Structure 1
């Protein structure tokens, strides 16, 4: 099977390419910079020579058309994932316009399966339901990144309603090794271990391993329909910090405050970030997520995959951050990924 992948130089995309190639499929990637493809895939054991690249951007219909021509399946993983207010215009262009272009061109090319990588935040806030499942409505979030993912979700659902072979996946917040761009979630874990986030909003968020979501994407190529949740678990912010303490053996002092009370702080930080050249770790989107995140129903489809132990995910992430020079040995601590008590929920 020939599978075209967008976003293959990103965290989810690169791991998904590795899983798809590992399952014996041929891969074609739409990339803005072919050199980035080699850098993203090499640490995952993917031979760059075995992956064909097509230069282009998801917003360019001509480039997308060339990339999806003759493909049996298309995995649309290209997305700007960030709560950085300086990237709002980029998010709208890539997350919304890019989805419209890719899914439309994939349908016109006759792809037998089109997997749209959405996000669980596209379903927030989940009112009035207090759990999420495949039938949950699209959310109407009051945050730019989340709103662009909700808009992209609406596009994908319109194609589904029209009878197109579109499958939607909802990854949780993802951790794991080999993040080629040090994305938002990995950078946030690094900031915690650097001591930059001693104040936390109460509430929680879903956490999963990028390798599990990649495995789901590869499995769906065997034939699937509908909507699937990436394997993961809901953690309170206290549980998340406790997992980092257990894995690293560090104290990591933290204060937990009501999430909604912290929203004005995040709002002000976002405004300041637009003119401040250095990253501010207090982000409105992260706080807002903790304020409105809910659990995924136990019966929600995950492609038959269960999440790997949280200790393994966190331990592998911290070890990779240390080994790649993003953390010092002191900041990484003991890196003990074998604690049975971590992530037992």
Structure 2
């Protein structure tokens, strides 16, 4: 099977390419720059020559059409994940317009199955603290979550019209081999660098990028994947559990103050306004605080298609070791994880 992966040079996209190659598929990648393919895939054991590359952007209709033409399936993983207010215009274009173009092209060209990568946050807020893939799309006004919710509505509309679209709702993803150091791994790095001594209470679903990539591969090899919407493998993690796991992985004390998430929201909102003019990243983001304040969890805890989530402590320890190997953490910051190379 020839599979197109959009966002194949990103964190989840690159791991998905690796999972598909291991399953014996041929893979095409839509990438804005061909030079980005090798550094993203080589650490995962996938030579750049093993994939077909179409150069272009998901917001370019012609490039999307070229990439989709002739493929048997599509995994649409391209998008901008960030709570950084400076990236709001880019995320609106990539997350909504990109989804409209990719899913539309897949339908036009008669692609067999399209996996649309949404996010757990597209279902927020949840009045009961529990969300369902069969429930309504979220109504959060935070720009990243709103853009993903809008894209989710596009995917659901295709589903309602009978298109072979499957939607995956991954949790917050950590793990090694992150080509562009996305928000979630950067947040862990900032904590270990001492830039986040204060955390909101609450929690969020968290998981391993390798497990969600394995789910994408399972969705393409399973003739009948069941319901058209699936939570990605993971588990709900409170912020206190997150910090405890980081302490266990590093052997460090990591003194942390926990503040009620809703009390932190006004401060985080003001930090976001300041971020628009401040050139360096401020590690106090409204969107991240909002997700913690929602403190929601999925209604279905069963492993999707039998793809079980690995222990969160394992994921976090693997991530810390990788950050250290990459020189993104010092030996002191990585603590005991730095000794295990």
**TM (normalized to structure 2)?**
0.97
Output the CA distance in 2 between the equivalents of 1:79 and 1:277: 23
Q: Deviations over 1:77-121 (max 9, x none)?
A: 001000000000001000000000000001101001000000000
Structure 1 residues 300 and 137 mapped into 2: Cα distance closer, same or farther (>3 Å)?
A: farther
Pairwise CA distance, 1:300: 5.6
- 1:82 counterpart residue number: 82
**8 A contact 1:175–1:185 mirrored in 2:** yes
Pairwise CA distance, 1:306: 1.2
| Residues 127-142 of structure 1: pairs in structure 2 closer than 5 A | 127=127, 129-142=128-141
**8 A contact 2:113–2:220 mirrored in 1:** yes
- The alignment partner of 2:306 has SS state of coil
- The alignment partner of 1:303 has SS state of helix
Pairwise CA distance, 1:57: 0.5
Structure 1 residues 69 and 215 mapped into 2: Cα distance closer, same or farther (>3 Å)?
A: same
Q: Does 1:124 align with 2:129?
A: no
- The alignment partner of 1:315 has SS state of helix
- 1:298 counterpart residue number: 300
1:266 to 242, 265, 268: 268
| Residues 42-53 of structure 1: pairs in structure 2 closer than 5 A | 42-53=42-53
Pairwise CA distance, 1:133: 2.5
Output the CA distance in 2 between the equivalents of 1:211 and 1:20: 12
Pairwise CA distance, 1:302: 1.5
Output the CA distance in 2 between the equivalents of 1:337 and 1:152: 43
**8 A contact 2:233–2:303 mirrored in 1:** no
**TM (normalized to structure 1)?**
0.95
Q: Does 1:166 align with 2:161?
A: no
**8 A contact 1:259–1:287 mirrored in 2:** yes
- 1:110 counterpart residue number: 110
- 1:285 counterpart residue number: 287
Q: Deviations over 1:221-259 (max 9, x none)?
A: 023250111100101101100110011100000011110
Pairwise CA distance, 1:301: 6.2
Q: Deviations over 1:288-322 (max 9, x none)?
A: 01011311123566222111011210111000000
Q: Would you say how many aligned residue pairs link Structure 1 and Structure 2? A: 337
Output the CA distance in 1 between the equivalents of 2:273 and 2:243: 27
Structure 2, unaligned stretches of length 5 or more? Answer: none
- 2:40 counterpart residue number: 40
Output the CA distance in 1 between the equivalents of 2:78 and 2:130: 27
Structure 1, unaligned stretches of length 5 or more? Answer: 339-345
**8 A contact 1:246–1:336 mirrored in 2:** no
Output the CA distance in 2 between the equivalents of 1:293 and 1:168: 22
| Residues 1-345 of structure 1: pairs in structure 2 closer than 5 A | 1-127=1-127, 129-222=128-221, 223=223, 224-225=225-226, 226-299=228-301, 302-335=304-337
